[in-house]
């Protein structure tokens, strides 16, 4: 096992941020479709995406969108995207046909008003966030879903999760996102 090699690697070369996948495709984790948990990563990865965004923005946006892509959310679910950059919301709109609202805060009065018009509870069915895990859990409808990135977030407590009956979803593979969109160039248009 080559545990010194990350399964997902991001490098900046000549001002372009490039994401590489080092998953072997043959270990137990890869065969289950959880490539980000590969136990035998390759030394040399395969480039899966590139863009002009900062590395942290790419990692958070792409992996949070990949989590949502693999979540099985209903196509008509009302989704709230909590992010400081527009990249994540743009990615979610490419893979979700239902209403997608975006904001930096779930307490935004405009978002709350829009949610009142879209859902009976005034809360989204799903929340996708790149940093605000705790705020996402508080914002989503009881029994809803929150998609988180493969990065550090402001995490909710176990009590908050249990009381709200929220399902947390993390990314299994960035390839889930690429497969849902159809081609990597459509994702790269937003990076």
- One digit per residue, the tens of pLDDT, for the chain of length 191 reads 333 346 888 899 998 999 999 999 999 999 998 888 899 999 888 888 898 889 999 999 999 999 999 899 999 999 999 999 999 999 999 999 999 999 999 999 999 999 999 999 999 999 999 999 999 999 999 999 999 998 889 988 889 888 889 999 999 888 778 877 877 887 888 87
Question: Is residue 158 assigned to a domain?
Answer: yes
C-alpha distances in angstroms, 124 versus 3, 89, 130, 172? 39, 14, 17, 23
Q: How many domains does the chain have?
A: 1
CATH of the domain at 134: 3.40.50.720
Question: Is residue 21 assigned to a domain?
Answer: no
Q: What is the pLDDT of residue 6?
A: 66
Question: Is residue 48 assigned to a domain?
Answer: no
Question: Is residue 110 assigned to a domain?
Answer: yes
Question: Is residue 94 assigned to a domain?
Answer: yes
Residues 87 and 79: their CA atoms lie apart, in Å, by 15
Question: Is residue 186 assigned to a domain?
Answer: no
Question: Is residue 93 assigned to a domain?
Answer: yes
Q: What is the pLDDT of residue 1?
A: 33
Sign of torsion over alpha carbons 47, 64, 95, 102: negative
Query: Can you give the length of the chain in residues?
Result: 191
Per-residue pLDDT of 26-56, as tens digits, reads 999 999 988 888 999 998 888 888 988 899 9
DSSP output for 105-173: -TT-HHHHHHHHHH-SSSS-SEEEESS-HHHHHHHSPTT-EEE--SS---PPPHHHHHHHTPEEE--S-
Find the domain containing 105 and state its range.
Answer: 57-169
């Amino acid at each position: 096992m080559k545990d010194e090699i990350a399964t997902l690697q991001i490098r900046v070369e000549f001002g372009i941020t490039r994401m590489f996948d080092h998953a072997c495709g043959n270990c137990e984790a890869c065969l289950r479709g959880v490539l980000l948990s590969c136990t035998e990563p390759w030394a040399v990865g395969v480039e899966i995406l590139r863009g002009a965004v900062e590395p942290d923005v790419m990692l958070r946006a792409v992996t949070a969108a990949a989590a949502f892509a693999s979540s099985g959310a209903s196509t008509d679910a009302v989704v709230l995207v909590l992010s400081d950059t527009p990249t994540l919301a743009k990615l979610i709109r490419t893979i979700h046909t239902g209403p997608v609202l975006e904001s930096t805060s779930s307490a935004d009065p405009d978002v709350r008003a829009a949610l009142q018009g879209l859902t009976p509870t005034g809360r989204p069915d799903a929340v996708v966030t790149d940093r605000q895990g705790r705020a996402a859990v508080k914002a989503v409808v009881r029994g809803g879903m929150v998609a988180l990135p493969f990065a550090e977030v402001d995490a909710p407590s176990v009590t908050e999760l249990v009381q709200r009956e929220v399902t947390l979803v993390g990314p299994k593979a960035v390839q889930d996102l690429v497969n849902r969109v159809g081609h990597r160039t459509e994702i790269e248009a937003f990076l």
